[in-house]
C-alpha cells in the first residue's frame, strides 16, 4: 500500500547489496511512496551484489563510492544533486563491517588494524557522509538522515564483537552531528536499532541464528523484519516526523524493554529439567 508520503522527495541510499538488505527494501518502499534517489555502494560490494536489478526496478542511477573516502563522497553528493535536480531530502546510511568478525578474531584478541578499518567503515563513514552533506549545504530544510544500529551498542552480546563498539560510536556521531544539523539547517538525524535481521551483513556474526530465535522469543511482538524497518524509515523520511531528532529508535518488537519473557523462561526451565 502506498500513501505517497515521499512524493517529490529526493535522496541517497547507501548499502543496498541484495534483496535481503534493509537498504534494498527501503529503496523499494521509497520508490513506491513517490521518492527518487541514487543508489551507492562500495565498488567491491557492488561486484558481490545485484544492485543493478534494484536500479532498473526503481529507475535509480548508481554512483559507486567508498564511504570512507572523502573524494568519493564529494563526488557522490555533487552527482546526486545533479541527477536529482537539487538538494536532498533524505539519506540512508546502511553500512557496517567488522574485519575481526570476518576473520574469526575474538573480542579479547583483536587485530587493531582490523578494528580501525571496521570503525572507519561502520561509524566514521557516517560522520564523513554528514560532514560532506553539511559543508556542501546539500540537504533541504526538514530533511532526514538515518543510520542503522543494534542494541549491542547498549547491552552485552558477547559474539557481536567489536561491532558493538562501532554501533555505540555510530549512535554518538548521530547525536553530536545531529545537533549541528538541526540547529543550523533544520535537518534531523536519527538511528534505528533494529531486531537481528537475516541480512548478508548480519549473518556473518557467530551464533546469529541463536540471536534471532532468542530475540523473537523475548519480544512481545516478535522480531521486526527488514520490511518493518524499511516502513519505519519511510515515516522518518516523511514530513510526519519533522521534530524527531537525536534519537536512537528501537524497532525491535519490544525487545529493548524486556528483562525476561515467559517463552524464554519456559525454554530455560525445560533445559534445566533435561
For 196-220, how does the pLDDT look when each residue is reduced to its tens digit (9 = 90+)?
998 776 776 777 888 899 999 999 9
- In this predicted structure, the answer to whether residue 49 has a pLDDT above a threshold of 90 is no
- In this predicted structure, the answer to whether residue 109 has a pLDDT above a threshold of 90 is yes
For the segment 13-26, what is each residue's pLDDT rounded down to a tens digit?
Answer: 999 999 999 999 99
Query: Structurally, how many domains does the chain consist of?
Result: 1
102, three cell numbers = 570476518
Q: pLDDT-derived band of residue 48, with 50, 70 and 90 as boundaries?
A: confident
Q: What is the pLDDT of residue 47?
A: 82
For the segment 245-268, what is each residue's pLDDT rounded down to a tens digit?
Answer: 999 999 999 999 999 999 999 998
Residue 3, in any domain of the structure? no
Residue 232, in any domain of the structure? yes
Q: Kindly report the average pLDDT of the chain as a whole number.
A: 95
3-state secondary structure the chain: CCCCCCCCCEEEEECCCCCCCHHHHHHHHHHHCCCEEEEECCHHHHHHCCHHHHHHHHCCEECCCCCCCHHHHHHHHHHHHHHHCCCEEEEEECCCCCHHHHCCCCCCCCCHHHHHHHHHHHHHHHHHHHHHHHHCCCEEEEEEEEEEECHHHCCCCHHHCCHHHHHHHHHHHHHHHHHHHHHHHCCEEEEEEECCCCCCCHHHCCCHHHHHHHHHHHCCCCCCCHHHHHHHHHHHHCHHHCCCCCCEEEECCCHHHCCCCHHHHHHHHHHHHC
Query: Which residues have a Cβ under 8 Å from the Cβ of 143 and sit 6 or more positions away?
Result: 87, 88, 89, 90, 91, 185, 187, 188
Residue 32, in any domain of the structure? yes
Catalytic residue list contains 150: yes
For the segment 225-241, what is each residue's pLDDT rounded down to a tens digit?
Answer: 999 999 999 999 999 99
Residue 2, in any domain of the structure? no
Q: What is the pLDDT of residue 34?
A: 98
% of the chain beyond a pLDDT of 70: 99
Q: pLDDT-derived band of residue 271, with 50, 70 and 90 as boundaries?
A: confident
Q: What is the pLDDT of residue 204?
A: 67
Residue 48, in any domain of the structure? yes
Is 22 annotated as belonging to a binding site?
A: yes
Is 96 annotated as belonging to a binding site?
A: no
Domain that holds residue 225: 10-273
Q: How far apart are CA 161 and CA 191, in angstroms?
A: 20
Residue 121, in any domain of the structure? yes
Exactly one of 112, 160, 169, 250 is catalytic; which is it? 160
Give yes or no for a contact between 219 and 255, defined as CB atoms under 8 angstroms apart: yes
Catalytic residue list contains 160: yes
Is 21 annotated as belonging to a binding site?
A: yes
Residue 5, in any domain of the structure? no
Exactly one of 150, 214, 232, 250 is catalytic; which is it? 150
CATH number at residue 61: 3.40.50.720
Amino acid at each position: 500500500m502506498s500513501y505517497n508520503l515521499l512524493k517529490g522527495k529526493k535522496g541517497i541510499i547507501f548499502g543496498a547489496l541484495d534483496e535481503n538488505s534493509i537498504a534494498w527494501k527501503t529503496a523499494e518502499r521509497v520508490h513506491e511512496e513517490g521518492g527518487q534517489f541514487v543508489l551507492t555502494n562500495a565498488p567491491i560490494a557492488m561486484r558481490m551484489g545485484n544492485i543493478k536489478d534494484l536500479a532498473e526496478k526503481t529507475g535509480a542511477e548508481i554512483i559507486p563510492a567508498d564511504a570512507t573516502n572523502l573524494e568519493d563522497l564529494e563526488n557522490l553528493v555533487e552527482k546526486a544533486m545533479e541527477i536529482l535536480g537539487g538538494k536532498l531530502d533524505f539519506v540512508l546510511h546502511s553500512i557496517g563491517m567488522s574485519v575481526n568478525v570476518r576473520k574469526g578474531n575474538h573480542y579479547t584478541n583483536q587485530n587493531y588494524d582490523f578494528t580501525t578499518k571496521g570503525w572507519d567503515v561502520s561509524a566514521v563513514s557516517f560522520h564523513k557522509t554528514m560532514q560532506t552533506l553539511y559543508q556542501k549545504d546539500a540537504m533541504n530544510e526538514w530533511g532526514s538522515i538515518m543510520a542503522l544500529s543494534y542494541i549491542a551498542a547498549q547491552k552485552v552480546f558477547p559474539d557481536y564483537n567489536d561491532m558493538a563498539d562501532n554501533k555505540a560510536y555510530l549512535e554518538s556521531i548521530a547525536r553530536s552531528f545531529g545537533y549541528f544539523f538541526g540547529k543550523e539547517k533544520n535537518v534531523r538525524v536519527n538511528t534505528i536499532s533494529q531486531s537481528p535481521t537475516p541480512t548478508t551483513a548480519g549473518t556473518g556474526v557467530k551464533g546469529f541464528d541463536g540471536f534471532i530465535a532468542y530475540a523473537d522469543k523475548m519480544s512481545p511482538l516478535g522480531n521486526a523484519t527488514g520490511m518493518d524497518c524499511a516502513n519505519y524509515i519511510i515515516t522518518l523520511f516523511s514530513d510526519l516526523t519533522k521534530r524527531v531528532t537525536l534519537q536512537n529508535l528501537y524497532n525491535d518488537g519490544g525487545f529493548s524493554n524486556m528483562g525476561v519473557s515467559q517463552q524464554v523462561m519456559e525454554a530455560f526451565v525445560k533445559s534445566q529439567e533435561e
